[in-house]
Structure 1
Amino acid sequence: MRGDDISGRKNTSVNAPGAQVARRRRWLWVGSIAVIAAVGVGWYAWPTGQETSADPHVRHPGKLQPICASPDGRTLYADVDGDGVVDEVYDSKDRDGRTVVTFEGPGNKRARQPVWSIVTTAKGRLKAHASPEEGFRAAFGDLDHDGRVDMAVTYTALPESDDPVDSASMHEVRWGPLGRDLKGRSRGSIRMSHGYYIDGLRAVAGTRPSAGANPGPARLLVHQTTGDGAFETYQGQKLGHDLVVPDEPLPRWAQEFAEQKDGWADLGQCPTSP
């Protein structure tokens, strides 16, 4: 029995006008879903993290927060741990190292972290209470100009005589976001020419290249002894993951250091809350 010759048959289910219409509808439906998904993903992935909130008192998770001070200069507002919510860095008028970071969390929960808790000795042992009298210094500021607050820490022993000695056990910069443990995204060294006693450590607002322009990265100023009761001012310069402090003091160092505003005010005052 000769089999049927199907070479000339037409697939009516494929070529029927109704099937073509249904197929077009399916493609339109799939295409619409793809467009909606792309728009949704694009909106979600839009770099809102690079937008800056105008007022640190207004919480805007997902946005970079400004780094600025309270009117009295005692509190620095910044997103220290990188969760998109403003935290508070509080220090005394002289910013002498008694620094405490208060982290804001969900449900208005707050956590306090004293900065001196991260200081280590030369042998790596943790010091629970490294006081300013023992030579602890800390400074916060956007030292690499990426919109995140960084932290510089030094720990040097007070000289016992007029002759300075190398007593540095900690010269470190921690790049933000710092996290709640203040360990930082990464770490680098503050490369000093000498490990002498550091009397002051400050991050001050960067210079403006022109009128109306945004300031550059914060400048790290180091007030270091040179012996016989004299001090000089040095400025750190970012080099890779480190801050290099050239052995060239800034002019008018002592006067410039003394002229800094109270607390954190020299990093700029925050706008008034609405």
Structure 2
Amino acid sequence: MLASLPRPRTRRQRRATALVVLAGGIWLQQAIEPVPGDHAPMAICSADGSTLRADVDADGHLDEINKSTGSVVFQRDDHRSVDDAVGFWQMLGGLWKDMKTRGAFGDFDGDGYLDLAVFYSQENTGDEPEDNMVVHEVRYGPLARDLSSGRIGTIRMWSSSFVYEARAIDANHDGRAELEVFQSGGDGAVYSVIGRQDRGGVSVSREETGQYGEWDFPSYDPDALGYGACADRRSAGPELDPS
């Protein structure tokens, strides 16, 4: 009787099974995810201090992006936030505790479409910073309505500690966004670093641009991206000259 009982699976077999499930989940996600339109870039504008308007999904209609909450309201009131943007990794959320999503919308590559920088990192539980950053990528526009993209670049970081906040700014006023990241330094300290478009992704400098307490880093400047004020219309806007 004992000989007929199934043998317990080895660690290698369990790992292989997990990889098969992971690959299947990724394939399924890619098979059903929506795709953006093919409308030419439309001018990005500032509706107020916390809201941008841009054609995020390239359907020819301006959408609203709340910079402080990291959320998008598409036409027909389809609402998405950066918490929806991590994708398949969220299905594996039980593998890690205290994971948080942070994101920033900005035109990092200067092609006229809004891009989305996404971080998925582990929040600190003690004085020492956690070293677990599962996602650090740029999803280049146009984005689909689930905030996915057919073109993804790596955000090259010097540290994998927790990201408190990510912002898009235009520090040198060249019309191309830079990525400002506020990251844990341990013992309640937060430092800021700047990343710029580089080699198909964003490279973050090792040089710190500021040091702060855990919750006293500077508030977001609504004019940091330098976009002009919006006209009253939401349904249409000027196309950018591709030249």
TM-score above 0.5: yes
Shift of 1:121: 7.2
Amino acid paired to 1:226: G
Residue of structure 2 equivalent to 1:65: 42
2:50 to 74, 96, 116: 74
Gaps of 5+ in 1: 1-60, 128-132, 209-214
CA contact (8 A) 2:171 2:224 kept: no
Alignment of 1:233-244 (within 5 A): 233-244=192-203
Shift of 1:259: 5.2
Shift of 1:169: 1.4
Amino acid paired to 2:74: F
Alignment of 1:1-274 (within 5 A): 62-71=39-48, 73-91=49-67, 95=68, 98-104=69-75, 109-120=76-87, 125=91, 134-208=99-173, 215-250=174-209, 252=210, 254=212, 258=218, 260-261=220-221, 264-271=222-229, 273=231
1:147-180 CA distances to partner (integer Å, 9 max, x unpaired)? 1100001111111111112121111110011121
In 1, the alpha carbon distance for the partners of 2:113 and 2:140 equals 8
In 2, the alpha carbon distance for the partners of 1:142 and 1:120 equals 21
CA contact (8 A) 2:189 2:211 kept: no
- Secondary structure, counterpart of 2:176 in structure 1: coil
In 2, the alpha carbon distance for the partners of 1:171 and 1:70 equals 29
Q: CA RMSD in A?
A: 2.7
Instruction: Using structure 2 for the length normalisation, give the TM-score.
Output: 0.68
Amino acid paired to 2:70: T
1:227-248 CA distances to partner (integer Å, 9 max, x unpaired)? 1111111111222222111322
In 2, the alpha carbon distance for the partners of 1:229 and 1:100 equals 27
Residue of structure 2 equivalent to 1:28: none
Instruction: Using structure 1 for the length normalisation, give the TM-score.
Output: 0.61
In 2, the alpha carbon distance for the partners of 1:156 and 1:64 equals 32
- Secondary structure, counterpart of 2:190 in structure 1: strand
Whose Rg is larger?
1
Shift of 1:119: 2.0
181 and 265 in structure 1: CA distance in 2 versus 1, 3 angstrom threshold: same
Gaps of 5+ in 2: 1-37, 233-243
CA contact (8 A) 2:82 2:101 kept: no
154 and 88 in structure 1: CA distance in 2 versus 1, 3 angstrom threshold: same
CA contact (8 A) 1:189 1:242 kept: yes
Question: Which has the larger strand fraction?
Answer: 2
1:135-157 CA distances to partner (integer Å, 9 max, x unpaired)? 21110000011111000011111
In 2, the alpha carbon distance for the partners of 1:69 and 1:138 equals 18
Amino acid paired to 2:64: E
- Secondary structure, counterpart of 1:166 in structure 2: coil
CA contact (8 A) 2:82 2:118 kept: no
Work out the number of aligned pairs and report it.
Answer: 189
- Secondary structure, counterpart of 2:224 in structure 1: helix
Shift of 1:272: 5.1
CA contact (8 A) 1:198 1:224 kept: yes
